[in-house]
Amino acid sequence: MTPKSGRGDYPNRDPQLFYELARDRHAAQADALSALDTKLAFFLSSSSALLSILIAVYALRPGAFHVLELVLVGVSGGVWLLLTVRALYAFRHRPWQSGPLLQEFYDLYPVRNERRLRWIAANRFWGDYDDNKPLENRKASALTWALCLFVTQTFLLVATLVLVAVFPSSGSTCRSQPLGQAAPGGQVQVQVPAAAQQECWKVSVPALRSSAQDLTP
């Protein structure tokens, strides 16, 4: 006997054990598919939330995003897009084989004894379980991808936030530092620590007369 073979050569044994095994395996498969869908939905929504956080930080502090930070944002967006495509592909509708058809078995009741009906039902559960297996494998593969991509996206978010926190916004370093000593020639050199590795602006004394007076002993 093979699944949906259509042959009537069932073993001359009580079908109860095999019927329960096939039915329980089919029910367990349905539960597994439901759990896979729930996990995929979680990763999809969480990935969208991570990307939203990154976009919100960029909207609040656009000057803090330099070339490296922008590259990380772009990579994070690409990871989100790939995760979304994989998840939506796994969610794609596919007919679910749910076991024996009620109308079919109702029609067989007058012409088949209960023992033979149990063998037919067990055979149908077995065949439908095999037919649903590709759908289960597709969702399981998508979940593995989603997990890896979600971890990658989390790492990119943390790395971007660390870079934004460590390196200040462009153009704000000089303004946040105190003015230096007045230089000969009527100019004031606005200086920053050497570690900043940025050249600050030079402005004329008339424009910063009040600041120069504060620096004069």
Domain ranges of the chain: 16-166, 173-215
Angle formed at CA 105 by CA 100 and CA 110, multiple of 5 degrees: 165
Q: What is the mean pLDDT of the chain?
A: 77
pLDDT of residue 1: 56
The pLDDT > 70 percentage for the chain reads 73
- Give the pLDDT score at 206: 43
Q: What is the pTM of this model?
A: 0.66
pLDDT at 96: 79
Per-residue pLDDT tens digits for 47-100: 999 999 999 988 888 888 888 888 999 999 999 999 999 999 998 877 778 777
Strand order from edge to edge, sheet including 182-183: 182-183, 187-189, 202-204
* Whole-Å CA distances, 101 to 104, 155, 162: 5, 49, 59
> 104-118, 146-160, 188-202: which has the highest mean pLDDT?
146-160
Tokens of 152: 């990658």
- The more confident residue out of 104 and 5 is 104
Are 40 and 142 in contact, with CB atoms under 8 Å apart?
yes
> What residues does 183 pair with on adjacent strands?
187
Share of the chain above pLDDT 90, in %: 35
Backbone phi and psi for residue 142, each to the nearest 5 degrees, phi listed first: -65, -35
Query: What is the residue whose two structure tokens read 């930080």?
Result: 57
Q: What is the pLDDT of residue 102?
A: 73
| pLDDT at residue number 213 | 52
Name the token pair of 174: 């000089």
* pLDDT over threshold 80, residue 180: no
pLDDT in tens, 108-146: 777 778 788 888 888 889 989 999 999 999 999 999 999
